[in-house]
Amino acid sequence: MPSEKLRRRIVVEAARLMYQRQESEYYRAKMKAARKICRGWVKPSDLPSNAEIRDEILRFAQLYEGDTNAEKLRDMRIEALRVMRLLEHCRPKLIGSVLTGHIRHGSDIDIHVFAPSSETVIAVLEQQGMVYELQRKRVRKLGEERLFTHIHVQDRFPIEITLYSPDKIGYVFKSSITGKAMETATLPELEQLMAEEYPDLALDEESLEAESRVDRFQVYRALLLPLARIREDRRHHPEGDVLHHSLQVYELMAGERPYDEELLLAALLHDVGKGIDPKDHVNAGLEALDGFITERTAWFIEQHMEAHKVRDGSIGARARRRLAESDDFEDLMLLEECDHLGRQAGADVPDLDDALDSIRDISRLYS
């Protein structure tokens, strides 16, 4: 059996792996940490409990995220309330960290719903214009194989909706952390909780306001999708459609500046105006993106055609000097290089949703 000191080190290492999203399951995180700390195999019965790991993860969250968690928790509960009201006919229940208050970086909103089919839920999500992914996962536990249906929603906060048949509405689910009955809150119970914890909050108004907030990544997606139908002169763009080009530029930029969200967005979005006004795609794109990108990202998009002139030497001396005075001139020229190189026919590129999800993850990481 590991000594108490080694056990504590396993707790910290396993929590670090889960906090940094390198592992998502407690058992795998503990085994990986134990092999690293003890330099060999450790009996599962000698490993720390899930609750010990959970408490250490929360300590990490408090250490690195501090008081910003309180505001984020409130906003996530408001979003949970909004979604549960939309799915009220499926008798939703909130579970997990948003209910208990133990959120950390990367936490999602976990909701159980009870409906005869996933179509009942999907119809609501599509009506709301939400981007989602349906996942069916087979899990074998205690010799019994079960099929779980999850709906992952990408919105302001990630949401995982788990579907159960209506006859499970009274079933008591067990927590994988404590082994005890899982904490849940029905819609009326969540409303009561929020009324008690946020007495000055107007729930109906906040819920409506949350509904009116536009997820900027849905805006990006809506502007990018039409580019797949736009083809340019093959003498300058042998790669084919504009979306394929944009994804190539993004992929090249991700290899150079993997954590610069503003520059990655500029690489992906620099040509969205071509789906609106090909004759003036820069201004058309900036107008469509107004309010959804930062000033720095807008500057990159605004100047990317001028950067081409710097490359071929056709820009005037005064205009070049003005660009060069910017602290972001070097990054602008990197964008120009990626734009120039991202014109390979048949090049492998990421799926659009995968690219947007990657940038969204970066945004959450540093928000």
Give, for all 367 residues of the chain, the pLDDT tens digit. 457 778 888 888 888 888 776 777 788 888 888 888 877 767 777 788 887 887 787 777 666 665 567 888 899 999 999 999 999 999 999 999 899 888 877 789 999 999 999 999 999 998 887 888 899 888 776 567 778 899 999 887 889 999 999 999 988 888 766 677 889 999 999 999 999 999 988 888 877 777 667 778 888 988 999 999 888 777 767 777 999 999 999 999 999 999 999 999 999 999 999 999 989 999 999 999 998 999 999 999 999 999 999 999 999 999 999 999 999 999 999 999 999 999 888 888 999 988 998 898 888 776 5
Q: Which among 347, 343, 342 has a CA at the least distance from the CA of 252?
A: 342
Note the pLDDT of residue 28: 84
Structural domain boundaries in the chain:
4-65, 68-212, 216-366
Rounded distance, CA 201 to CA 8, Å? 41
Helix H or strand E segment including 30:
helix 26-38
In DSSP terms, 94 is beta-bridged to 111, 185
Rounded distance, CA 196 to CA 184, Å? 17
Q: Which among 63, 10, 4, 51 has a CA at the least distance from the CA of 33?
A: 10
Q: Which CATH number fits domain 68-212: 3.20.20, 3.30.870, 3.30.460, 3.10.450?
A: 3.30.460
Phi and psi of 51, rounded to 5°? -65, -40
The two structure tokens encoding residue 279: 């004759």
Tell me the pTM.
Answer: 0.58
Residue 133 near residue 163 (C-beta atoms within 8 A): no
CATH architecture of 216-366: Orthogonal Bundle (1.10)
Q: Which among 281, 283, 287, 286 has a CA at the least distance from the CA of 298?
A: 286
* Region at 364 (left for phi over 0; alpha for psi -120 to 50; beta for the rest): alpha
- Cα-Cα-Cα-Cα torsion 9, 13, 14, 20, nearest 10 degrees, comes to 160
Residue 132: helix, strand or coil by DSSP? Answer: strand
- Exposed/middle/buried for residue 344 (C-beta within 10 Å: 0-12, 13-18, 19+): middle
Rounded distance, CA 147 to CA 160, Å? 16
- Exposed/middle/buried for residue 40 (C-beta within 10 Å: 0-12, 13-18, 19+): exposed
Note the pLDDT of residue 260: 94
Residue 241 near residue 233 (C-beta atoms within 8 A): no
Residue 229 near residue 241 (C-beta atoms within 8 A): yes
